[in-house]
Amino acid sequence: MLGINRELEKLEKSGKQINVGLVGAGQMGRGMISQIASMNGMKVVATSDIQIDNVIRAYELAGIPSEEVMVADTLGQAAQAVKENKSVAMIDSGLLCQVDGIDVIVDATGIPEVGASVALGAIEHKKHIVMLNVEADITVGVYLNSLAEEQGVVYTGSAGDEPGAIMELYDFADALGFEVVGLGKGKNNPLNQDANPDSVAEAARKKKSNPKMIASFQDGTKTMVEMNAVANATGFLPDQPGMHGFKAGVKELPEIFRLESEGGEVRNHKIVDFVQGIAPGVFAIISSEKEEVNEEMKYLSMGEGPNYVLYRPYHLTSLETPLSVAKAYLHNTPTIAPYKGMVAETATVAKIDLKAGDSLDTIGGYTIYGRIYDYEEAKSMNALPVGLVSNKLVLKNDVRKGDVITYDDVDHDESSLIWELRKKQDAMLER
């Protein structure tokens, strides 16, 4: 089998290309458009964003001549522009999902409700869908993946996002027959569950990022969500609610991930966790019972065993997303998907003391953060999944800081698509 680079080159030489539709022209989307503009055999032919100027600017930054960019308001205009190999700019993501000639759609919004809508639209119109939206994936990805299989298209998370990068390490080790003991990622900053858009404003300004995104990194929600996706893909569980969050260097990881009874710091094997001190990398802890394998691992300077660490010191986020696009189109294979179903759940936790009548906000805001649990434990608590939270939700009960918010604590948002899909997913899992 050819490498993806050679397959794309072959596609280009044959006069063909993978036509990509993108939803979301923010930081992640802009980077992906520019990266694809440098590649063989692939082109972003249509992009939607609620601010059309974001799309036009993204194409400009990618070096796409303005005369090759067309603003489309109708399905017919968009389809004709794609046929002419133009770069379409549009507002309506629902319309983008219907455009003939698009092969793969990428959601780069990071908003669970929008991600669910885009994925559903792509699948219904028989287009592969790549999710740069882990929040939507951990909430309704099991249902969406099932729909995609029925339609014969690929539903996948993205290469370059930490869950995808971890999955690549897992697949490598698992294919070779190693026992995979633990999977995890580095956290870029100290855990601060009180972080909010105000407290991170300066850090966000320096990074030219949305303050809510930075707050979701600092308060741990993003880490919980990402490891939730890994859990649903592999069947691995958090060792405890919220995981451990060890502080360590790479060389210390093999010993830390030994059982407490063997001098380590974990209660179980086959767990997901995060480590403060090894960011921005991802890792897999592996072991083998075979004497000859262990001897060769020592020879290869992988350590003394019984555990060894596979460590990747980078992940290139949306710049790697085109690899998942190509893998879906060329091989009909996902980078990462919720193969094991609902294994973990990221529950909604009160960031401050909240009163009945208070409105919640969203991930990275002032009122809530996420904490990962075993799915069955979260279900027994009737915990509200963090991906269902929106500013439309009003509390019916007081909730103290640090407590899990339950379904019973909120008036349900019956008008929301992601709530509707979650109900269908829950019903599917009960069968």
What pLDDT shows up at residue 188? 83
Is residue 205 a part of any domain in this protein?
A: yes
Using CA atoms, how far apart are residues 47 and 303, in angstroms rounded to an integer?
A: 48
What pLDDT shows up at residue 431? 86
Q: What is the CATH number of the domain that holds 115?
A: 3.40.50.720
Q: What is the pLDDT of residues 197-231, one digit of tens each?
A: 999 999 989 988 889 999 999 999 999 999 999 99
The residue from 301, 331, 361 where one domain ends is 331
Using CA atoms, how far apart are residues 36 and 140, in angstroms rounded to an integer?
A: 28
pTM comes to 0.97
Number of structural domains found in the chain? 3
Q: What is the CATH number of the domain that holds 366?
A: 3.90.1210.10
Q: What is the pLDDT of residues 288-340, one digit of tens each?
A: 999 999 999 999 999 999 999 999 999 999 999 999 999 999 999 999 999 99
- Identify residue 371 by its one-letter amino acid code: R
What pLDDT shows up at residue 209? 86
Using CA atoms, how far apart are residues 193 and 126, in angstroms rounded to an integer?
A: 40
What pLDDT shows up at residue 139? 98
Instruction: Judge contact between 387 and 334, C-beta under 8 A.
Output: no
Is residue 43 a part of any domain in this protein?
A: yes
pLDDT above 70 coverage of the chain, percent: 100
Containing structural domain, residue 156: 4-161+319-331
Is residue 336 a part of any domain in this protein?
A: no
What pLDDT shows up at residue 189? 87
Is residue 220 a part of any domain in this protein?
A: yes
Statement: residue 1 has pLDDT above 70: no
- Identify residue 339 by its one-letter amino acid code: Y
Residue 94 shares a structural domain with residue 148:
yes
Please report how the helices 134-151 and 417-430 are oriented relative to each other, as an axis angle in degrees rounded to 10: 60
Statement: residue 367 has pLDDT above 80: yes
